[in-house]
A and B are shown apart, each in its own frame.
Chain A
Amino acid sequence: MNVPSENSCPMTRTQVLDAYFMEHRARLLDIAAFLDRLDRAAGEPEDDIRETSFRRALEILTDGRTGRAGRILTMLSDQTTELPVSAAGMKGAIGAPVSLTGDPS
Protein backbone atom coordinates (compact mmCIF):
# COMPACT_ATOMS: atom_id res chain seq x y z
CA MET A 1 0.00 0.00 0.00
CA ASN A 2 1.49 3.34 -0.95
CA VAL A 3 0.77 6.11 1.52
CA PRO A 4 2.56 9.47 1.57
CA SER A 5 5.00 9.27 4.45
CA GLU A 6 5.57 12.06 6.94
CA ASN A 7 9.04 13.46 7.50
CA SER A 8 10.16 12.05 4.15
CA CYS A 9 11.79 15.26 2.92
CA PRO A 10 15.40 15.20 4.09
CA MET A 11 15.40 18.97 4.71
CA THR A 12 14.24 20.85 7.79
CA ARG A 13 11.40 23.38 7.49
CA THR A 14 13.96 26.18 7.64
CA GLN A 15 16.03 24.58 4.89
CA VAL A 16 12.93 24.21 2.72
CA LEU A 17 12.18 27.89 3.22
CA ASP A 18 15.80 28.85 2.54
CA ALA A 19 15.76 26.85 -0.69
CA TYR A 20 12.29 27.62 -2.06
CA PHE A 21 10.72 30.68 -0.40
CA MET A 22 11.86 33.30 -2.91
CA GLU A 23 10.84 31.16 -5.89
CA HIS A 24 7.37 30.49 -4.51
CA ARG A 25 6.94 34.08 -3.25
CA ALA A 26 7.33 35.05 -6.92
CA ARG A 27 4.76 32.43 -8.00
CA LEU A 28 2.37 33.62 -5.30
CA LEU A 29 2.58 37.14 -6.71
CA ASP A 30 2.05 35.76 -10.22
CA ILE A 31 -1.22 34.22 -9.03
CA ALA A 32 -2.24 37.47 -7.28
CA ALA A 33 -1.51 39.49 -10.41
CA PHE A 34 -3.36 36.94 -12.55
CA LEU A 35 -6.49 37.34 -10.38
CA ASP A 36 -6.12 41.15 -10.55
CA ARG A 37 -5.83 40.86 -14.34
CA LEU A 38 -9.09 38.90 -14.43
CA ASP A 39 -10.71 41.70 -12.36
CA ARG A 40 -9.58 44.26 -14.91
CA ALA A 41 -10.69 42.27 -17.94
CA ALA A 42 -14.09 42.63 -19.62
CA GLY A 43 -16.73 39.90 -19.15
CA GLU A 44 -18.71 38.33 -16.33
CA PRO A 45 -16.80 36.85 -13.37
CA GLU A 46 -16.67 33.06 -12.94
CA ASP A 47 -18.62 32.19 -16.09
CA ASP A 48 -15.76 29.99 -17.25
CA ILE A 49 -15.03 26.59 -15.71
CA ARG A 50 -11.31 27.37 -15.71
CA GLU A 51 -11.89 30.36 -13.47
CA THR A 52 -14.35 28.54 -11.21
CA SER A 53 -12.01 25.61 -10.77
CA PHE A 54 -9.03 27.90 -10.21
CA ARG A 55 -10.85 29.59 -7.32
CA ARG A 56 -11.84 26.16 -5.97
CA ALA A 57 -8.13 25.23 -6.05
CA LEU A 58 -7.28 28.32 -4.00
CA GLU A 59 -9.64 27.04 -1.28
CA ILE A 60 -7.77 23.74 -1.23
CA LEU A 61 -4.49 25.60 -0.79
CA THR A 62 -5.70 27.22 2.42
CA ASP A 63 -7.76 24.44 4.04
CA GLY A 64 -4.86 23.36 6.23
CA ARG A 65 -4.83 19.76 5.02
CA THR A 66 -1.93 18.11 3.21
CA GLY A 67 -2.02 16.27 -0.14
CA ARG A 68 -2.85 19.58 -1.82
CA ALA A 69 -1.33 18.82 -5.23
CA GLY A 70 -3.17 15.51 -5.53
CA ARG A 71 -6.45 16.99 -4.33
CA ILE A 72 -6.23 19.90 -6.77
CA LEU A 73 -5.44 17.53 -9.64
CA THR A 74 -8.40 15.35 -8.69
CA MET A 75 -10.70 18.38 -8.52
CA LEU A 76 -9.45 19.42 -11.98
CA SER A 77 -10.24 15.95 -13.38
CA ASP A 78 -13.14 14.75 -15.51
CA GLN A 79 -15.29 12.76 -13.06
CA THR A 80 -17.68 11.30 -15.66
CA THR A 81 -17.63 7.59 -16.40
CA GLU A 82 -19.26 7.26 -19.83
CA LEU A 83 -17.09 6.85 -22.93
CA PRO A 84 -17.91 8.79 -26.12
CA VAL A 85 -17.55 6.69 -29.28
CA SER A 86 -15.14 8.96 -31.10
CA ALA A 87 -12.98 12.01 -30.44
CA ALA A 88 -14.11 13.53 -33.73
CA GLY A 89 -15.16 17.13 -33.11
CA MET A 90 -13.94 17.10 -29.50
CA LYS A 91 -11.62 19.83 -28.26
CA GLY A 92 -8.26 19.01 -26.74
CA ALA A 93 -7.81 19.01 -22.97
CA ILE A 94 -8.09 22.46 -21.35
CA GLY A 95 -6.89 21.66 -17.84
CA ALA A 96 -10.28 21.75 -16.12
CA PRO A 97 -13.31 19.43 -16.34
CA VAL A 98 -16.55 20.39 -18.09
CA SER A 99 -18.22 20.72 -14.69
CA LEU A 100 -17.24 20.47 -11.04
CA THR A 101 -18.73 17.93 -8.67
CA GLY A 102 -18.75 17.46 -4.91
CA ASP A 103 -16.84 19.35 -2.27
CA PRO A 104 -13.33 20.61 -2.91
CA SER A 105 -11.52 17.62 -1.40
Chain B
Amino acid sequence: MKYIDPHIHMVSRTTDDYQRMAQAGCIAVTEPAFWAGFDRSSVQGFYDYFRQLTEYEPRRAAQFGIQHFTWLCINPKEADDPGFAREVVSLIPEFLDCPGVLGIGEIGLNKNTRNELTILEEQIRLAEEHGQMVLVHTPHLEDKLKGTRIIMDALAASRIDPGRILIDHVEEHTVAEVLDRGFWAGMTLYPDTKVTPQRAVDIIEMYGTERIWMNSAGDWGCSDPLAVPKARLEMRRRGHAVEIIDRVTLNNPLTFLGQSERFSVDVESA
Protein backbone atom coordinates (compact mmCIF):
# COMPACT_ATOMS: atom_id res chain seq x y z
CA MET B 1 0.00 0.00 0.00
CA LYS B 2 1.15 3.50 -0.83
CA TYR B 3 -0.11 6.78 0.52
CA ILE B 4 0.67 10.51 0.64
CA ASP B 5 0.58 12.56 3.84
CA PRO B 6 -0.33 15.95 2.31
CA HIS B 7 0.05 18.04 5.48
CA ILE B 8 2.82 17.27 7.93
CA HIS B 9 5.47 19.44 9.61
CA MET B 10 8.52 17.28 9.14
CA VAL B 11 10.98 19.91 10.41
CA SER B 12 9.53 19.02 13.85
CA ARG B 13 9.89 15.26 13.39
CA THR B 14 12.80 12.86 13.67
CA THR B 15 14.42 10.59 11.12
CA ASP B 16 12.77 7.69 12.99
CA ASP B 17 9.43 9.15 11.92
CA TYR B 18 10.57 9.31 8.30
CA GLN B 19 11.64 5.69 8.52
CA ARG B 20 8.37 4.49 10.06
CA MET B 21 6.34 6.50 7.54
CA ALA B 22 8.33 4.98 4.66
CA GLN B 23 7.78 1.51 6.11
CA ALA B 24 4.04 2.22 6.34
CA GLY B 25 3.92 3.12 2.62
CA CYS B 26 4.38 6.90 2.58
CA ILE B 27 5.76 7.98 -0.80
CA ALA B 28 5.38 11.76 -0.55
CA VAL B 29 4.64 14.53 1.93
CA THR B 30 3.74 18.18 1.58
CA GLU B 31 4.79 20.53 4.35
CA PRO B 32 3.09 23.90 4.83
CA ALA B 33 4.90 26.73 6.60
CA PHE B 34 3.45 27.26 10.06
CA TRP B 35 3.99 28.45 13.61
CA ALA B 36 7.05 27.04 15.39
CA GLY B 37 5.33 26.93 18.79
CA PHE B 38 6.90 30.28 19.67
CA ASP B 39 6.93 33.60 17.80
CA ARG B 40 10.02 34.18 15.68
CA SER B 41 11.87 37.32 16.72
CA SER B 42 12.88 38.52 13.27
CA VAL B 43 12.04 38.47 9.58
CA GLN B 44 15.37 36.71 9.03
CA GLY B 45 14.04 33.81 11.12
CA PHE B 46 11.43 33.22 8.44
CA TYR B 47 14.01 33.47 5.67
CA ASP B 48 15.98 30.69 7.33
CA TYR B 49 12.78 28.64 7.78
CA PHE B 50 11.91 29.00 4.08
CA ARG B 51 15.41 27.80 3.19
CA GLN B 52 14.99 24.84 5.53
CA LEU B 53 11.68 23.94 3.84
CA THR B 54 12.93 24.33 0.28
CA GLU B 55 16.54 23.11 0.54
CA TYR B 56 17.26 20.99 3.58
CA GLU B 57 14.04 19.08 4.35
CA PRO B 58 13.62 17.60 0.82
CA ARG B 59 17.12 16.11 1.13
CA ARG B 60 16.33 14.62 4.54
CA ALA B 61 13.11 13.07 3.19
CA ALA B 62 14.86 11.70 0.12
CA GLN B 63 17.12 9.58 2.33
CA PHE B 64 14.01 7.55 3.14
CA GLY B 65 12.63 7.45 -0.39
CA ILE B 66 9.94 10.04 0.42
CA GLN B 67 9.39 13.01 -1.89
CA HIS B 68 9.03 16.31 -0.06
CA PHE B 69 7.03 19.33 -1.28
CA THR B 70 6.27 22.56 0.53
CA TRP B 71 3.97 25.58 0.83
CA LEU B 72 5.20 29.02 1.96
CA CYS B 73 3.54 31.84 3.90
CA ILE B 74 3.43 33.63 7.22
CA ASN B 75 1.07 31.64 9.43
CA PRO B 76 -1.97 33.37 10.98
CA LYS B 77 -0.65 33.10 14.54
CA GLU B 78 2.29 35.36 13.65
CA ALA B 79 0.26 37.56 11.28
CA ASP B 80 -1.34 39.72 13.97
CA ASP B 81 1.35 42.40 13.51
CA PRO B 82 0.70 43.58 9.94
CA GLY B 83 3.96 45.52 9.54
CA PHE B 84 6.07 42.54 10.53
CA ALA B 85 3.91 40.13 8.52
CA ARG B 86 4.26 42.24 5.35
CA GLU B 87 8.04 42.10 5.60
CA VAL B 88 7.85 38.30 5.81
CA VAL B 89 5.40 38.09 2.89
CA SER B 90 7.80 40.19 0.79
CA LEU B 91 10.38 37.37 1.08
CA ILE B 92 8.10 34.73 -0.44
CA PRO B 93 8.27 35.53 -4.20
CA GLU B 94 11.98 34.72 -4.43
CA PHE B 95 11.22 31.18 -3.20
CA LEU B 96 8.20 30.48 -5.42
CA ASP B 97 10.26 29.03 -8.26
CA CYS B 98 12.19 26.63 -6.06
CA PRO B 99 11.59 22.99 -6.95
CA GLY B 100 8.96 21.48 -4.66
CA VAL B 101 7.14 24.71 -3.82
CA LEU B 102 3.44 24.05 -4.48
CA GLY B 103 1.89 27.34 -3.43
CA ILE B 104 0.91 29.58 -0.53
CA GLY B 105 0.07 27.93 2.78
CA GLU B 106 -1.01 27.30 5.36
CA ILE B 107 -2.67 30.70 5.43
CA GLY B 108 -5.88 31.42 7.30
CA LEU B 109 -7.02 32.75 10.65
CA ASN B 110 -6.21 31.96 14.27
CA LYS B 111 -8.30 34.21 16.57
CA ASN B 112 -10.40 35.70 13.74
CA THR B 113 -8.99 39.23 14.07
CA ARG B 114 -8.98 42.10 11.58
CA ASN B 115 -5.18 42.08 11.55
CA GLU B 116 -5.10 38.38 10.67
CA LEU B 117 -7.73 38.91 7.97
CA THR B 118 -5.75 41.77 6.41
CA ILE B 119 -2.66 39.58 6.05
CA LEU B 120 -4.78 36.66 4.84
CA GLU B 121 -6.22 38.86 2.10
CA GLU B 122 -2.75 40.10 1.12
CA GLN B 123 -1.45 36.53 0.87
CA ILE B 124 -4.50 35.50 -1.22
CA ARG B 125 -3.57 38.39 -3.53
CA LEU B 126 0.02 37.13 -3.65
CA ALA B 127 -1.24 33.67 -4.68
CA GLU B 128 -3.50 35.26 -7.28
CA GLU B 129 -0.72 37.39 -8.77
CA HIS B 130 1.69 34.46 -8.99
CA GLY B 131 -0.85 31.82 -10.10
CA GLN B 132 -0.28 29.75 -6.97
CA MET B 133 -2.45 27.11 -5.34
CA VAL B 134 -3.52 27.72 -1.73
CA LEU B 135 -3.55 25.56 1.41
CA VAL B 136 -5.71 26.96 4.20
CA HIS B 137 -5.45 26.57 7.97
CA THR B 138 -8.77 26.97 9.77
CA PRO B 139 -8.85 28.07 13.43
CA HIS B 140 -8.99 25.80 16.43
CA LEU B 141 -11.96 24.62 18.49
CA GLU B 142 -14.63 27.29 19.16
CA ASP B 143 -13.07 29.65 16.61
CA LYS B 144 -13.23 27.20 13.69
CA LEU B 145 -16.80 27.66 12.41
CA LYS B 146 -16.69 31.46 12.36
CA GLY B 147 -13.14 31.54 10.97
CA THR B 148 -13.84 29.01 8.23
CA ARG B 149 -16.74 31.13 6.96
CA ILE B 150 -14.70 34.36 6.99
CA ILE B 151 -11.83 32.62 5.16
CA MET B 152 -14.15 31.20 2.50
CA ASP B 153 -15.66 34.65 1.92
CA ALA B 154 -12.18 36.15 1.52
CA LEU B 155 -11.20 33.43 -0.95
CA ALA B 156 -14.44 33.77 -2.90
CA ALA B 157 -13.65 37.47 -3.38
CA SER B 158 -10.47 36.49 -5.28
CA ARG B 159 -10.16 35.13 -8.82
CA ILE B 160 -8.56 31.88 -7.62
CA ASP B 161 -10.49 28.79 -8.74
CA PRO B 162 -11.84 27.08 -5.58
CA GLY B 163 -10.67 23.79 -7.11
CA ARG B 164 -7.09 25.01 -6.53
CA ILE B 165 -7.71 25.74 -2.85
CA LEU B 166 -7.74 23.16 -0.04
CA ILE B 167 -9.37 24.13 3.24
CA ASP B 168 -7.82 22.07 5.98
CA HIS B 169 -8.80 20.89 9.45
CA VAL B 170 -12.49 20.50 8.55
CA GLU B 171 -14.77 18.75 11.02
CA GLU B 172 -18.39 17.62 11.02
CA HIS B 173 -19.70 21.21 11.37
CA THR B 174 -17.63 22.72 8.54
CA VAL B 175 -17.08 20.02 5.92
CA ALA B 176 -20.40 20.43 4.10
CA GLU B 177 -20.04 24.19 3.57
CA VAL B 178 -16.46 23.80 2.34
CA LEU B 179 -17.41 21.15 -0.22
CA ASP B 180 -20.61 22.92 -1.25
CA ARG B 181 -18.62 26.05 -2.10
CA GLY B 182 -16.37 24.07 -4.44
CA PHE B 183 -13.22 23.94 -2.32
CA TRP B 184 -11.22 20.84 -1.48
CA ALA B 185 -11.46 19.71 2.15
CA GLY B 186 -8.71 18.30 4.36
CA MET B 187 -9.27 16.32 7.54
CA THR B 188 -6.55 16.42 10.17
CA LEU B 189 -6.19 13.32 12.31
CA TYR B 190 -5.23 14.34 15.84
CA PRO B 191 -5.51 12.37 19.07
CA ASP B 192 -7.60 14.95 21.01
CA THR B 193 -8.59 17.93 18.86
CA LYS B 194 -9.68 17.94 15.20
CA VAL B 195 -10.79 14.43 14.10
CA THR B 196 -9.81 10.88 15.02
CA PRO B 197 -9.30 8.29 12.27
CA GLN B 198 -12.74 6.86 13.15
CA ARG B 199 -14.50 10.22 12.73
CA ALA B 200 -12.62 10.92 9.51
CA VAL B 201 -13.93 7.67 8.07
CA ASP B 202 -17.44 8.56 9.30
CA ILE B 203 -17.17 11.88 7.44
CA ILE B 204 -16.14 10.09 4.26
CA GLU B 205 -19.09 7.74 4.62
CA MET B 206 -21.45 10.70 5.05
CA TYR B 207 -20.02 13.19 2.55
CA GLY B 208 -18.31 10.97 -0.04
CA THR B 209 -14.82 10.74 -1.44
CA GLU B 210 -14.81 13.66 -3.86
CA ARG B 211 -12.43 16.60 -3.20
CA ILE B 212 -11.40 15.33 0.22
CA TRP B 213 -8.18 14.02 1.77
CA MET B 214 -6.75 13.30 5.20
CA ASN B 215 -3.46 14.19 6.80
CA SER B 216 -1.65 13.81 10.10
CA ALA B 217 -0.52 17.44 10.43
CA GLY B 218 2.19 15.86 12.56
CA ASP B 219 4.18 18.62 14.27
CA TRP B 220 5.90 19.50 17.56
CA GLY B 221 2.73 18.89 19.63
CA CYS B 222 0.66 15.79 20.42
CA SER B 223 0.23 14.33 16.96
CA ASP B 224 0.83 11.08 15.12
CA PRO B 225 2.89 10.89 11.91
CA LEU B 226 1.33 7.48 11.21
CA ALA B 227 -2.26 8.75 11.48
CA VAL B 228 -2.99 8.33 7.74
CA PRO B 229 -2.07 4.63 7.58
CA LYS B 230 -4.10 4.16 10.78
CA ALA B 231 -7.12 5.70 9.06
CA ARG B 232 -6.52 3.35 6.12
CA LEU B 233 -6.68 0.42 8.55
CA GLU B 234 -9.89 1.83 10.02
CA MET B 235 -11.44 1.90 6.53
CA ARG B 236 -10.36 -1.68 5.89
CA ARG B 237 -11.77 -2.76 9.24
CA ARG B 238 -15.15 -1.45 8.16
CA GLY B 239 -14.99 -3.24 4.85
CA HIS B 240 -14.36 -0.33 2.51
CA ALA B 241 -12.94 -1.29 -0.88
CA VAL B 242 -9.22 -0.78 -1.44
CA GLU B 243 -10.10 1.48 -4.36
CA ILE B 244 -12.00 3.84 -2.01
CA ILE B 245 -9.16 3.79 0.53
CA ASP B 246 -6.60 4.57 -2.16
CA ARG B 247 -8.79 7.35 -3.50
CA VAL B 248 -8.78 9.40 -0.29
CA THR B 249 -5.21 8.68 0.80
CA LEU B 250 -3.36 8.59 -2.54
CA ASN B 251 -5.31 9.47 -5.67
CA ASN B 252 -7.13 12.53 -4.35
CA PRO B 253 -3.84 14.08 -3.13
CA LEU B 254 -2.30 13.25 -6.54
CA THR B 255 -5.22 14.96 -8.30
CA PHE B 256 -5.22 18.12 -6.20
CA LEU B 257 -1.47 18.53 -5.91
CA GLY B 258 -0.95 17.57 -9.56
CA GLN B 259 -2.47 20.92 -10.52
CA SER B 260 0.93 22.39 -9.69
CA GLU B 261 3.53 21.92 -12.40
CA ARG B 262 6.12 21.48 -9.65
CA PHE B 263 4.37 18.39 -8.25
CA SER B 264 5.32 15.09 -9.79
CA VAL B 265 5.27 11.66 -8.12
CA ASP B 266 5.87 8.42 -9.97
CA VAL B 267 3.64 6.11 -7.94
CA GLU B 268 4.68 2.93 -9.74
CA SER B 269 8.37 3.28 -9.03
CA ALA B 270 7.98 4.94 -5.61
Whether A9 and B173, one on each chain, are in contact in the complex, defined by CB atoms closer than 8 angstroms, is no
Mask, A81-105, CB within 8 Å of B = 1, is 1011111101011111100000000
Distance of A28 from chain B, by nearest CB (Å): 15
- Smallest CB-CB separation from B147: which chain A residue? A78
Whether A76 and B115, one on each chain, are in contact in the complex, defined by CB atoms closer than 8 angstroms, is no
CB neighbors of B among A1-19 (8 A): 1-5, 8-11, 19
Whether B141 and A84, one on each chain, are in contact in the complex, defined by CB atoms closer than 8 angstroms, is no
CB neighbors of A among B65-113 (8 A): 80, 110-113
Whether A84 and B111, one on each chain, are in contact in the complex, defined by CB atoms closer than 8 angstroms, is yes
- In the complex, chain A residues whose CB is within 8 Å of the CB of B114: 83-86
CB neighbors of A among B201-239 (8 A): 202, 205-208, 237-239
Mask, B174-198, CB within 8 Å of A = 1, is 0110011000000000000100001
- In the complex, chain B residues whose CB is within 8 Å of the CB of A81: 146
Whether B146 and A2, one on each chain, are in contact in the complex, defined by CB atoms closer than 8 angstroms, is no
- In the complex, chain A residues whose CB is within 8 Å of the CB of B20: none
- The yes or no answer to A62 lying at the interface (CB within 8 A) is no
Q: How far is the CA of A87 from the CA of B215 in the complex (A)?
A: 28
Whether B176 and A9, one on each chain, are in contact in the complex, defined by CB atoms closer than 8 angstroms, is no
Distance of B7 from chain A, by nearest CB (Å): 19
A1-B180, A10-B239, A93-B139 in contact; A74/B145 too (CB < 8 A)? yes
- In the complex, chain B residues whose CB is within 8 Å of the CB of A92: 140
Whether A83 and B113, one on each chain, are in contact in the complex, defined by CB atoms closer than 8 angstroms, is yes
Q: How far is the CA of A2 from the CA of B179 in the complex (A)?
A: 7
Q: How far is the CA of A5 from the CA of B210 in the complex (A)?
A: 14
Whether B173 and A74, one on each chain, are in contact in the complex, defined by CB atoms closer than 8 angstroms, is yes
- The yes or no answer to A73 lying at the interface (CB within 8 A) is yes
- Smallest CB-CB separation from B192: which chain A residue? A95
Q: How far is the CA of A78 from the CA of B198 in the complex (A)?
A: 25
Whether A70 and B146, one on each chain, are in contact in the complex, defined by CB atoms closer than 8 angstroms, is no
Distance of B180 from chain A, by nearest CB (Å): 6
- In the complex, chain A residues whose CB is within 8 Å of the CB of B238: 9-11, 19
Whether B206 and A97, one on each chain, are in contact in the complex, defined by CB atoms closer than 8 angstroms, is no
- In the complex, chain A residues whose CB is within 8 Å of the CB of B116: 87
- Smallest CB-CB separation from A84: which chain B residue? B113
Q: How far is the CA of A60 from the CA of B61 in the complex (A)?
A: 45
CB neighbors of A among B131-181 (8 A): 139-146, 150, 171-173, 175-176, 179-180
Whether B173 and A73, one on each chain, are in contact in the complex, defined by CB atoms closer than 8 angstroms, is yes
Partner of B142, one of A2, A77, A86: A77
Q: How far is the CA of A74 from the CA of B173 in the complex (A)?
A: 6
Q: How far is the CA of A76 from the CA of B172 in the complex (A)?
A: 12
- In the complex, chain A residues whose CB is within 8 Å of the CB of B111: 84, 87, 90
Q: How far is the CA of A81 from the CA of B117 in the complex (A)?
A: 14
- In the complex, chain A residues whose CB is within 8 Å of the CB of B146: 77-81
Whether A69 and B207, one on each chain, are in contact in the complex, defined by CB atoms closer than 8 angstroms, is no
A-B contact list, 20 entries, CB within 8 Å: A3-B176, A5-B205, A9-B238, A10-B205, A10-B239, A73-B171, A79-B146, A83-B112, A83-B114, A84-B112, A85-B115, A87-B80, A87-B110, A87-B115, A92-B140, A93-B140, A95-B141, A96-B141, A96-B142, A97-B142
Q: Which 8 pairs from chain A and chain B are nearest by CB? A: A70-B172, A4-B206, A93-B141, A73-B173, A77-B145, A87-B111, A8-B205, A69-B172
- Chain A positions near chain B (C-beta within 8 angstroms): 1-5, 8-11, 19-20, 67, 69-71, 73-74, 76-81, 83-88, 90, 92-97
